[in-house]
């Protein structure tokens, strides 16, 4: 297989063919070619072929059926004591790395760092009461139904969405679509997106994913680290309380 000629060689060959200078050809190429700009690479999830195939049609179905509704979205996310991997917390500035204090250059991280699981629901009207649980405790269908839906989601709906056009949009966790959960939603007359219509592994269409990123930046601002779980819970609670409705909208 022959190798494509380099751009200078191509310019030289073209100028010789049309009997003009190299500069003329180079200027013509600059005018006709689109400028090369710098772009930031976007993270893309490694979806399965089936997920890629059905994502766009399902998104369209959701839009066409619920475009006049307000979405109530719930989700869970983990918070560790340090979250040193968060962008901005893993760097430091120094004129001489060798003279920088070790407390600045390094951060302490346990092999299995303690963490908590936070659940909450959001809509354009605001945030529900949140639920924080140690990561070792599983959020199974019983805990999800009693602690998340009955104690927190239902009061949120009655307060902000009573009588309005809304739809509850859970994620695809198995506990979220357990029979007991679906039966309770039907009994409470809470419209929800059926599992067959829900979209798997497409976080970019769920704005609650952006909320988690915003919340974690607030919790770990300026490299903050929690000394224990209780301190972490207090910081998460304070940051959630300070989120304004305009941020959600």
Read off the pTM: 0.72
Asked if residues 53 and 96 have their Cβ atoms less than 8 Å apart, the reply is no
What DSSP assignment string belongs to 123-161?
ETTEEPPPEEEETTS---HHHIIIIIIIIIIHHHHHHH-
**H or E element in which residue 168 lies:** strand 166-169
Judged against a pLDDT cut of 50, whether residue 245 lies above it is answered with yes
Q: Is 3.30.420.10 the CATH number for 50-248? A: yes
Q: Rounded distance, CA 31 to CA 88, Å?
A: 40
Judged against a pLDDT cut of 60, whether residue 8 lies above it is answered with yes
- Range in 2-16, 61-75, 110-124, 147-161 with the lowest mean pLDDT: 2-16
Domain with CATH 3.30.420.10 in the chain: 50-248
Judged against a pLDDT cut of 50, whether residue 18 lies above it is answered with yes
Confidence of residue 26 (pLDDT cuts 50, 70, 90): confident
Q: Rounded distance, CA 181 to CA 148, Å?
A: 11
């Amino acid at each position: 297989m022959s190798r494509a000629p380099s751009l200078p060689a191509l310019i030289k060959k073209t100028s010789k063919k049309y009997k003009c200078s190299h500069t003329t050809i180079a200027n013509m190429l600059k005018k006709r070619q689109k400028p090369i700009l710098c772009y930031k690479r976007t993270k893309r999830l490694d979806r399965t072929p089936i997920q890629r195939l059905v994502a766009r049609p399902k998104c369209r179905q959701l839009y066409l059926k619920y475009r006049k509704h307000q979405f109530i979205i719930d989700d869970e996310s983990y918070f560790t004591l340090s979250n040193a991997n968060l962008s901005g917390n893993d760097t430091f500035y120094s004129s001489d790395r060798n003279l920088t204090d070790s407390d600045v250059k390094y951060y302490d991280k346990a092999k299995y760092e303690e963490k908590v699981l936070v659940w909450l629901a959001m809509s354009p009207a605001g945030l529900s009461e949140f639920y924080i649980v140690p990561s070792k405790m599983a959020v199974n269908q019983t805990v999800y139904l009693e602690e998340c839906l009955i104690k927190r989601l239902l009061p949120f709906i009655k307060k902000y969405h009573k009588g309005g056009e809304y739809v509850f949009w859970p994620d695809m966790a198995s506990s979220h679509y357990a029979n007991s959960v679906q039966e309770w939603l039907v009994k409470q007359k809470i419209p929800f997106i059926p599992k067959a219509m829900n979209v798997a592994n497409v976080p970019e269409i769920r704005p609650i994913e952006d909320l988690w990123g915003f919340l974690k930046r607030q919790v770990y601002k300026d490299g903050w680290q929690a000394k224990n779980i209780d301190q972490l819970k207090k910081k998460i609670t304070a940051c959630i309380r300070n989120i304004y409705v305009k941020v959600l909208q």
